[in-house]
Amino acid sequence: MLGKTAARHTSEQFVAFLTDVVASQPKRRKIHVICDNVSSHKTQRVADFLDAHRNVRLHFTPTYSSWLNQVENWFSRIQRDVIARGIFTSVKDLDRKLMRYISESPKPIKWKYDDPSRRVRPVPIQ
């Protein structure tokens, strides 16, 4: 699990994170990153990074489908386990506690949808 904290979510910070991801993997390994549709993921800076790193591919979840974005589940766990009842003496302390949680707590999320009766179906026009 790789994590990075930042004061703001800008394309510069996103590219810095992608750079860390690339550096952590063997050269030429194909890297697939699933992203939401926030504007900082779609800037020229990001496009330039992708041009320079042909082994990295971004995939975007559909708009208004946050339930498909598993990182939202992870953020919810961080909120519940670290932030909600936390006491932080500084931003640096918060950063340290978040990074400790990220490095010590990663577990695969088993997510499935197996109830076909609850699937969205088109409604016939009458």
Q: What does pTM read for this prediction?
A: 0.73
Strand duo 56-60 + 31-35: pairing? parallel
Q: Name the packing angle between helices 70-78 and 91-104 (round to 10°).
A: 120
1-64 classified as CATH 3.30.420.10 = yes
Domain ranges in the chain are: 1-64, 69-109
Q: How far is CA 40 from the centre of its chain?
A: 13
pLDDT digits (tens, 9 = 90+) for 62-114: 887 777 777 778 888 889 999 998 899 999 999 999 999 988 877 766 666 67
- The closest of 68, 63, 3 to 38, measured between CA atoms, is 63
CA 33/CA 15 separation, integer angstroms:
12
Tokens 């016939």 sit on residue: 124
Give the least confident one: 7-16, 38-47, 53-62, 105-114.
Answer: 105-114
Q: What is the pLDDT at residue 1?
A: 75
Interacting residues of 41 by C-beta distance below 8 A, sequence separation 6+: 11, 14, 35, 58, 60
